[in-house]
Amino acid sequence: MIIDLPSTTTSALNKKLVEIREQGGQVALGRVLTLVIVADDDAKLEDAIEAANDASREHPSRVIVVAKGARTAAPRIDGQIRVGGDAGASEVIVLRLYGALATQGQSAVVPLLLPDAPIVTWWPEAGPKAPAEDPLGELAQRRITDSAAEKNPIRSLTTRAKSYVEGDTDLAWTRLTHWRAQLVSALDLPPYEKITGATVTGEADSPSTELLAGWLAEYLKAPVRRIKSSSAQGIISVQLERRSGAVELTRPDGRVGTLTQPGQPTRRIALQRRSNLECLVEELRRLDPDEIYEAALHGLHKLAPSGTGKPAGAKPKSARGAKAPAKKAGKSTEKSAS
């Protein structure tokens, strides 16, 4: 059911939500969090709502969508409430802010937040340079951006490494979960030798490839090269050098990977490119700081330029509010090869 409330107020929206619950015989809210989605493009907005609705079947939530209308229009809020089959296991409130209200998203969202429930803010489009300093980011315990949606994905990673605050994360990082799990599992098999170097090959503007290389550089304590390619999308291959021979994980087609290493049979592994829904569901499972993502951001400055084996660049200033990175790559918090 979709209910449109043009030129409305937040108090009228709250009143309508209570009325809908009473009519449906629902006594209490069964919501575990509030998910705030910030999007302006209508197509991406609907895709984000669809992903949030599907994710709500595992994480029932109140979804508040904030979109900016024309700033030249008279100040008003056009509201929309979606419940039932149009909202999955959640309730969706869409706010389109016009005129002077277009920059007052925080003021419009606060009256609609669930009491005592954690808040997650998600930017499915280009996000702010410093998510924790954004008015809607300030409300949240977790702030989810997506560097792949930026005009310059690699530059956005560098910017967010400088502005990182506990609670920040990126869907470009979440897309790496299966890659990281496979590489860690491969290193758990004999021979147990030190990695002397690594090469990560992927699309030139792939932020996931960049983060994977940064993660390896941080934990392997060995030179890591980032090779840029135009032959495929996303990550293409990872090669870890050892004295007995290289461990190599390749995925040229974006679907199936091949793992080869000395003394072990060649294995084919499902490495399908992950959807926003899969990544969003994974991120909503945890609300604590992701120290491994933080370490990967720190590792970006250690990457060697393409074609060399020596680390380049000086270490950037410490990220504001950052903790010291964890020491073991295998201890990757709750992220797993699901």
Contacts of 154 (CB under 8 A, 6+ apart): 147, 205, 207, 210
- Reported as a pLDDT band with limits 50, 70 and 90, residue 189 is confident
User: Is residue 222 predicted with pLDDT exceeding 60?
Assistant: yes
Q: Name the 3-class secondary structure at 193.
A: coil
Residues facing residue 197 across a β-bridge: 241
pLDDT band at 28 (very low <50, low <70, confident <90, very high): low
pLDDT at 81 over 90: yes
Q: Give yes or no for residue 85 having a pLDDT over 90.
A: no
DSSP string over 223-254: -EEEEEESSSSSEEEEEEE-TT--EEEE-TTS
Position 320, amino acid: R
Residue 151 has pLDDT above 90, yes or no: yes
pLDDT(130) > 80:
yes
For residue 305, the model assigns a pLDDT of: 64
On the question of pLDDT at 180 being above 50, the answer is: yes
Q: Taking Cα atoms as reference points, which of 139, 83, 80 lies closest to residue 111?
A: 139
Domains by residue range for the chain, with CATH = 2-171 (3.40.50), 172-313 (no CATH)
CB contact set of 92 (below 8 Å; sequence gap of 6+)? 49, 52, 53, 63, 65, 80, 81, 82, 83, 86
What average pLDDT does the segment 329-335 reach?
38
pLDDT for residue 315: 43
DSSP secondary structure letter of residue 304 = B
Query: What is each CA distance from 333 to 283, 317, 319, 337, in whole angstroms?
Result: 12, 25, 20, 12
pLDDT of 190 higher than 90: no
Q: What is the mean pLDDT of residues 312-319?
A: 40
DSSP string of 60-84?
A: -EEEEEEEE--TTSPSEEEEEEE-G
Q: CA 292 to CA 11: how far, in whole Å?
A: 41
In the chain, at which residue ranges do the beta strands (DSSP E only) sit?
2-8, 33-38, 61-68, 76-82, 91-98, 119-122, 142-145, 168-170, 197-203, 224-229, 235-241, 247-250, 256-261, 264-270
Q: Supply the pLDDT for residue 63.
A: 95
pLDDT digits (tens, 9 = 90+) for 255-270: 999 999 988 899 999 9
Question: CA-to-CA distance for 157 and 175, rounded, in angstroms?
Answer: 15
The confidence band for 239, taking pLDDT boundaries of 50, 70 and 90, is very high
Proportion of the chain above pLDDT 70, given as a percent: 88
- For 10, how many CA atoms within 13 A lie in the half-sphere containing its CB? 14
The answer, yes or no, to whether residue 232 has pLDDT greater than 80, is yes
Distance of alpha carbon 99 from alpha carbon 94, whole angstroms? 17
Does the structure show a pLDDT above 70 at 238? Answer: yes
Residue 331 has pLDDT above 50, yes or no: no
Q: What 8-state DSSP symbol labels residue 116?
A: T
Please check the confidence at residue 244 and state whether its pLDDT lies above 80. Answer: yes
* Mean local confidence (pLDDT), 102-116: 94
Residue 291, pLDDT above cutoff 50:
yes
Q: What residues pair up with 79 in beta bridges, in sequence order? A: 5, 95
Please say if the pLDDT value at position 307 is more than 90.
no
What local confidence, expressed as pLDDT, does residue 322 receive? 43
From CA 66, how far away is CA 75, in angstroms rounded?
15
Q: What value does the mean pLDDT of the chain take?
A: 87
What average pLDDT score do residues 161-173 get?
A: 96
pLDDT at site 192: 86
Answer whether residue 308 shows pLDDT above 80: no
Q: Comparing 113 with 309, which gets the higher pLDDT? A: 113
If you count DSSP H runs as helices and E runs as strands, how many of each does the chain have, helices first? 10, 14
What was the pLDDT predicted at 170? 97
Q: Please tell me the predicted confidence (pLDDT) of residue 26.
A: 58
For residue 313, the model assigns a pLDDT of 39
Q: Residue 325 pLDDT > 50, yes or no?
A: no
- What does the alpha-carbon distance between residue 18 and residue 210 come to, in Å, rounded to a whole number? 47
